Amino acid sequence: MASTSPNADNDGTTDQVLVEDCRFTRILTLNRPQQLNALSTPMIMKLLKLFVAYEKDSDVKLLIVKGNGRAFSAGGDVASVARSVAQGQWALGTEFLRNQYTLDYIIATYGKPQVSILDGIVMGGGAGVSIHGRFRVVTEKTCIAFSAVLIVTGRKTTKDVFTMPETSLGFFPDIGASYFLSRLPGFFGEYVGLTGARLDGAEMLACGLATHFVPSTNLAYLEDLLTKVETSDPFVICASIDQFSQMVPLKASSAYNRLDIIDKCFSKETVEEIISALEKESASMADEWIVVAIQALKKASPISLKVTLRSIREGRLQGVDRCLTMEFRLCCHILRLEASKDFLEGFRAILVDKDRNPKWEPPRLDLVDSKVVDQYFAEVDDANWEELKLPSRRNLAANYVSKM
């Protein structure tokens, strides 16, 4: 019989991660539904503790991770990070990210299978604790975007926030996105990362971000079957999920149907060349996704676009550990406001004043100095700064595979 952990941690706070014990399976439920399960520090620390403990526990064969409510997770609870930066305490923000990236790395190299059930909104940090796992199950309700959603506890979040990419917030797709976006077919990862395009379950399955599509009405049956699994054999688990999995067609309007055009445009060397190529295509065809992509690129932070493109390109040649280490450096430079204050300006324009009119610094792509972009990828020049030091892992091969 399954048992559920108490609803409070040792510090007396409401439990933000529910744990259900089912013989050889553990079900971890992200439990901040009012905040769309945005990842808080207590949530990240508890997940770290559980993942480390379960990997050592021979009685645990499989982990299932899901969200309570209409979201799996709408990203990291990084409003506190922005406030710390505004107060000149950038190091507090980097500690949040250090713990989050460590969790992502443990998941990416986990020695036991993880089944992530993505039945709803998935963004930013939510992608980090799911996409890096071995099995990613999506439904007709799934919507993913690599956006830095800044959730404040107790504050209602509107739906339009989910259309805003990291580059529109003066940030970039992190949580190991430079690793898995760079491994999507062709240059689809550049398209998703630069434009912040939202993908549905069918698109995630087609490009490899998901391994299975299961109708939401069958999730309870799938969970029940998985709780009876007595092995960590990924082929047995895959076969179990296959019993409920379906192949679903892409919508006619899906940009993934035009991967040839995406490859032609997003393979260009610079962001300026990508925009120019898209504008040429737009002049000869009336596809809405091209117009939307151009608009997103022109509204985004120029320096964030440059950093994002380079991070994905470098990610193609790196393992997940080096990708996370690179991204941590980028985050530190951004939070230190070294060359630009776009992170705070994006936070102000999108989620504080909500005027949707950020004043980027610099304001145009052609004004972004290549030496400044180089600086973002270098070590941080601060005596108190430390590189991201990831734990030693037995399973050095990442669990993420674009196709099962």
CA distance 392 to 31: 29
Point out the residues that are catalytic: 76, 125, 166, 174
Q: What is the mean pLDDT of residues 244-249?
A: 95
Assign 397 a pLDDT band (cuts: 50, 70, 90).
Answer: low
Full 3-state SS string of the chain: CCEECCCECCCCCECCEEEEEECCEEEEEECCHHHCCCECHHHHHHHHHHHHHHHHCCCCCEEEEEECCCEEEECEECHHHHHHHHCCCHHHHHHHHHHHHHHHHHHHCCCCCEEEEECCEEECHHHHCCCCCCEEEECCCCEEECCCCECCCCCCCCHHHHHCCHHHHCCCCCCCHHHHHHHCCCCHHHHHHHHCCCEEHHHHHHHCCCCEECCHHHHHHHHHHHCCCCCCCHHHHHHHHHCCCCCCCCCCCCHHHHHHHHHHHHCCCCHHHHHHHHHHHHHHCCCHHHHHHHHHHHHCCHHHHHHHHHHHHHHCCCCHHHHHHHHHHHHHHHHCCCCCCHHHHHHHHHHHCCCCCCCCCCCCHHHCCHHHHHHHCCCCCCCCCCCCCCCCCCCCCCCCCCCC
Task: Indicate the pairing of strand 135-138 with strand 212-213.
Answer: parallel
Is residue 85 assigned to a domain? yes
* Residue 370 pLDDT > 50: yes
**Structural domain of residue 332, as residue ranges?**
7-249+289-376
Question: Tens digit of pLDDT for each residue in 180-231?
Answer: 999 999 999 999 999 999 999 999 999 999 999 999 999 999 999 999 999 9
Is residue 390 assigned to a domain? no
CATH number, domain of 71, equals 3.90.226.10
**Percent of the chain at pLDDT exceeding 90:** 71
Report pLDDT for 103: 97
* Residue 160 pLDDT > 70: no
Q: How far apart are the first and last CA of the chain?
A: 31
Assign 368 a pLDDT band (cuts: 50, 70, 90).
Answer: very high
Report pLDDT for 206: 96
Assign 171 a pLDDT band (cuts: 50, 70, 90).
Answer: confident
* Residue 22 pLDDT > 50: yes
Question: Tens digit of pLDDT for each residue in 46-86?
Answer: 999 999 999 999 999 999 999 999 999 988 876 777 787 88
* Residue 359 pLDDT > 80: yes
Q: What is the mean pLDDT of residues 377-393?
A: 91
Report pLDDT for 78: 66
Is residue 145 assigned to a domain? yes
Dihedral angle of Cα 162, 165, 166, 172, to the nearest 10 degrees: 140
| Statement: the pTM of the whole predicted model exceeds 0.85 | yes
Is residue 112 assigned to a domain? yes
* Residue 155 pLDDT > 70: no
Is residue 279 assigned to a domain? no
* Residue 366 pLDDT > 90: yes
Q: What is the mean pLDDT of residues 149-162?
A: 35
Q: What is the mean pLDDT of the chain?
A: 88
Is residue 404 assigned to a domain? no
Is residue 258 assigned to a domain? no
Q: What is the mean pLDDT of residues 306-314?
A: 96
Q: How many domains does the chain have?
A: 1
Is residue 281 assigned to a domain? no
